[in-house]
Amino acid sequence: MNGHSGFEAATIHCPECPVRRLALFQPLDPGEVSIAEAFRTEFRHLKPGNAIFRQGEDIKEVYTLHEGWAYLYQNLVDGGRQILRVILPGDFFGFQVDMGDGVRIYSAQALTAVALCVFPAANILKMVREHVELGIRLIWMTAHDEAVAYEQVVSLGRRTARERVAYLLLDLFHRLRLRQRNPEGIRTVDLPLTQELIADICGLTQIHVNRTLKSLRNDNLLELKGGKLYVPDVDLLACEAKHSHSVFTKRPML
């Protein structure tokens, strides 16, 4: 599912990689991109639900998601969990402070079937020291992730269930559209999230997510069924999501 089409690891080369424009190595000139490939050690496939890494493990690798959906999350003592970030193709993830001796402070899991570009964590600092521009790129991406995290803090701290769900789906809608050939005309995107996952992102229960979606559907703001998200009017949904400023505008990448 999700259009996975059986790549051979050996046939994927970074310079012609279709998701590269979104990824860590995007700003490098063609000669430098091969640097990335030299550092990449593996091209890995995982099934839906498989763990990529777990809270508490040593940090051995960092990743670029090549295909499919994944997410970062934390488990809680009471059995619940909070999803920290949804990862789409081209997104870089798994980078963390204490890369040397630290452990994972969150887990990562494949949501659909995924293909991953794997880089050894130990090489990252070496890479940065040898190629300063790559270091700057890494600073940029980490700062972007921080900004996105702050946006989620605002959502969870101050927005209602309707606003949170609207904001999440709008965000995903934008990010997915940018990965398409002709972003403008698109009103429907594939969205393999279950209501339970939406709940774990928005800090709600699955049941209340269901009622919230129903309410949004009744107001013709969106339609979510069978893994497809339909948004008739993006501006209307944006209004509902109440994002005072916007991470979408001037978004540096993704």
Partner DNA sequence: CGCGCCGTTGAGCCCGTTCAAAAAGTGTGG
Partner DNA sequence: CCACACTTTTTGAACGGGCTCAACGGCGCG
Please, which residues have CB within 8 angstroms of residue 22's CB and are 6 or more apart in sequence?
Answer: 89, 90, 91, 179, 253, 254
Q: Does 243 bind DNA (CB under 7 A)?
A: no
CB 24 within 8 Å of CB 36:
yes
Paired sense of beta strands 228-230 and 188-190, if any: antiparallel
* Residue 194 touches which member of DNA, a second copy, none, C-beta under 5-8 Å by kind: DNA
Q: Which stretch binds DNA (CB under 7 A): 56-64, 119-127, 141-149, 198-206?
A: 198-206
Residue 174: C-alpha distances to residues 14, 27, 227 (Å): 25, 22, 16
Query: For residues 215-244, which are near a second copy according to CB under 8 A?
Result: 242, 244
Round to whole Å and give the CA distance between 203 and 99.
Answer: 29
Please, which residues have CB within 8 angstroms of residue 98's CB and are 6 or more apart in sequence?
Answer: 59
Lay out the site mask for a second copy across 121-150 (x = CB under 8 A, - = otherwise): ----x--xx--x--xx-xxx-xxxxxx-xx
Residues that bind a second copy (CB under 8 A): 55-56, 72, 74-78, 80-82, 84, 95-98, 102-103, 105-106, 125, 128-129, 132, 135-136, 138-140, 142-147, 149-150, 152-154, 156-158, 202-203, 242, 244-245, 247, 250, 252
Residues that bind DNA (CB under 7 A): 1, 160-162, 194-196, 203-208, 210-214, 225-227
